[in-house]
Amino acid sequence: MRWRALIAAAALGGVFPAASAVSHHEPDHFYDCEPAGPPQDLLKTKRVLVYFESGRADRSEFVGCHRPSRKQHLLADAADYRMMFASPAAVSARRSAVGYAVRDNGRTVVEVRDLASEPGPWPCVGCGVEQPAPLRRIPATHHPRRKVGVATLVLGRATAVVWTTCRLGGRSYDYALSHYDGCRQTFGATVRVWRARTGHENIELLDKGRNIHVRSLRIERGRVHWRTGETRRSAEL
């Protein structure tokens, strides 16, 4: 009788796999970080996933997810007149913190948010519940109401941020998806390089000109580097 029990157990094992054999989500596909529809990833690191999920033509939700803890934050929602600059070059992450720029009710601002923090008492993305205040929220220029776009943004240690701006207009805004693609007139237009150091509330203008290479912006060893024409420049953070 014992051999019959062994055969039956083997047959059941073929139909119902053991608990250790049950498949799990891969690290880059956590269930709670997956959008309801086809996403467009803006930033994807080991700890952070930032994407926008568009529904109706007049609504786009920009979501930031802390992948290890599966915590989601609603970074911007076109329905609330918060449109994100959706160029991947305008989104940056350092560990669980993410820096980005939004056009918030006619004002361009830069924000830094810790995606590992509690996102608030909301059960789903887009439920309309207010999110906690970001770690930093600063104007993108000295003139908050000026229509400027954020072309590139890099995040340094302890929420230090550096970004580039240029005039917002023309075809920079995508009406179909309710977001900004940044500055399409990147070379030949007047570009400004801004710095927001740790512990300083005021932003600083580092450079201004028509031959700044916005994609050369980077942070290395506590300094920010960029290229103006053929000249390489840097500043402390």
- In the chain, the number of structural domains is 1
Residue 80 domain flag: yes
d(CA 213, CA 210): 9
d(CA 131, CA 125): 11
Whose tokens are 């053991």? That residue is 18
Average pLDDT of span 100-109 = 90
pLDDT given for residue 183 in this prediction: 67
What is the identity of the amino acid at 234?
Answer: S
Residue 200 has pLDDT above 50, yes or no: yes
d(CA 90, CA 53): 17
Residue 18 domain flag: no
Report the percent of the chain where pLDDT is more than 90. 33
Residue 220 domain flag: yes
d(CA 156, CA 158): 7
Q: pTM here?
A: 0.78
Average pLDDT of span 103-113 = 91
Q: Residue 84: name the closest of 93, 74, 94 by CA.
A: 74
Q: Residue 209: name the closest of 186, 234, 180 by CA.
A: 186
DSSP label at residue 197: -
Residue 16 domain flag: no
Residue 67 domain flag: yes
Tokens of 58: 């007049």
pLDDT given for residue 15 in this prediction: 33
Tokens of 62: 């920009």
Higher pLDDT, 201 or 105: 105
What is the identity of the amino acid at 103?
Answer: R
Residue 54 domain flag: yes
Residue 217 domain flag: yes
Q: Residue 61: name the closest of 44, 86, 93 by CA.
A: 86
Q: Which domain holds residue 137?
A: 26-119+129-236
Residue 17 domain flag: no
